[in-house]
Structure 1
Amino acid sequence: MEEWKERLKEEGYIEVGDFIIEVSVDSECPCKDDEVYPVIMIYDRKTESWYYVDEPFDPVNNFTEAWEEGIKVLEGYINGKEPRLKRTPKKFAPDDVIKRFAEALKTLENKTDSQSELNV
Structure 2
Amino acid sequence: MSGWKETLKEEGLLEVGDFIIEVSIDSECPCKDGTLYPAVLIYDLKNEEIYYLDEPFEPVSNFKEALEQVFEWIERYKHGELPRMKRSPKKDAPKEVVQRFLEVIKSLE
The verdict on a shared fold, with TM-score over 0.5 as the criterion, is yes
Query: What are the superposed Cα offsets for residues 15-63 of structure 1, whole Å, 9 maximum, x if unpaired?
Result: 000000011001269x531310001110000000000001011100001
Query: 1:6 matched to which residue of 2?
Result: 6
Q: CA separation in 2, counterparts of 1:40 and 1:78?
A: 16
User: Whose radius of gyration is greater, 1 or 2?
Assistant: 1
Structure holding more strand per residue = 2
Q: Which runs of 5+ in 2 are unaligned?
A: none
Q: Which has the higher contact order (CA 8 A, sep 6+)?
A: 1
- Note if contact 2:28-2:37 (Cα within 8 Å) is conserved in structure 1: no
Structure 1 residues not aligned, in runs of 5+: 112-120
TM-score by length of 2: 0.94
Matches within 5 A, 1:24-43: 24-27=24-27, 32-43=32-43
- Go from structure 1 to structure 2 and tell me whether the alpha carbon gap of 1:95 and 1:28 turns closer, same or farther (over 3 Å shift): closer
Q: Give CA deviations for 1:72-117 in whole Å, capped at 9, x if unaligned.
A: 1111111110111000001000010000000010110xx2xxxxxx
Query: How far, CA to CA, are the matches of 1:35 and 1:107 in structure 2?
Result: 33
**Aligned 8 A contact 2:43 2:50 in 1:** yes
TM-score (structure 1 length as normaliser): 0.86
Is 1:77 aligned with 2:77? yes
Structure 2 distance, partners of 1:54, 1:28, is 13
Task: Provide the secondary structure at the position in 2 that maps to 1:81.
Answer: coil
